[in-house]
Amino acid sequence: MHLLAAAGFASAGDAYHRGRPGYPQDAIALLVRHLGLGPGVAVLELGAGTGKLTRHLAATGASVTAVEPVADMRRVLVERVPGVTTLDAVAEALPVGDGSVDAVVAGQAFHWFATGPAVSEIARALRPGGGLGLVWNARDVTSPWVAEIDEILDAVHGDAPSYRTGAWREPFRNDDRFTPLQHATVHHRQVGDVTTLHDRFASISSVAALPPARHDDVMARIDAVVARNAVDGLVTLPYRTDVYWATRR
């Protein structure tokens, strides 16, 4: 597990669940269709966090096993999505049998473990013909105020793994165990009060891991931008949800 993820998420479970957006139904529908999710389907979710995606997967009737190595995130997951099997494990060493699952899914997480060993473990766990689905909610920086917040965040992000860089694709290059990744985008919005948006940005790992004084300064600057864009106490944060899928050959 990446050290920044371990440090940043170690005590951020409640803020993460309060502040992070869910996934739009159109994005879930893409996963259901392309991965064949439904009753009798065994799904392994990697980096399940607090269960934001897990609850949608379970609602299909599939048998879901959620893998989450951070204890505080796993605590919230168990509270919020009872009845789902949870495992304390990392993607590079999955405690499941060869070809034992029909689908592997990761929401908002794959960039943290986009390595050759993790992709090999995914390939091992999937049955031939099984599907891989990767999903990210990405802030829509075409909105000027969102771009302003991203400038603040970029100053503290450093070299932490990020979806935006596209580096997560590298393990799939020239890997003939999977069909080429397919992609679709769904646009949606998160509407919340300023406290919800505070939790949304405070739960970002690179922010949560900052020393207290630096953390407070960064969050004060972000809170000021959010407050300027509140209307009747509510803020609308635009997103695009990127959905990728491939098949295990």
For the chain, the residue count is: 249
CB atoms within 10 A of CB 18: 17
pTM here is 0.94
Pair type for strands 234-247 and 85-87: unpaired
pLDDT of residue 7: 53
Q: Is a pLDDT exceeding 60 seen at residue 63?
A: yes
Contact 167, 218 (CB under 8 A): no
* Distances, alpha carbon 89 to alpha carbons 12, 13, 96, in Å: 18, 17, 10
For the stretch 210-223, pLDDT in tens is 999 999 999 999 99
Q: Cα angle at 75 between 57 and 102, to 5 degrees?
A: 30
Question: Which domains are seen in the chain, by residue range?
Answer: 3-139+160-189+240-247 (3.40.50.150)
For the stretch 65-106, pLDDT in tens is 999 999 999 999 999 999 999 999 999 999 999 999 999 999
Q: Residue 231 gets which letter from DSSP?
A: B
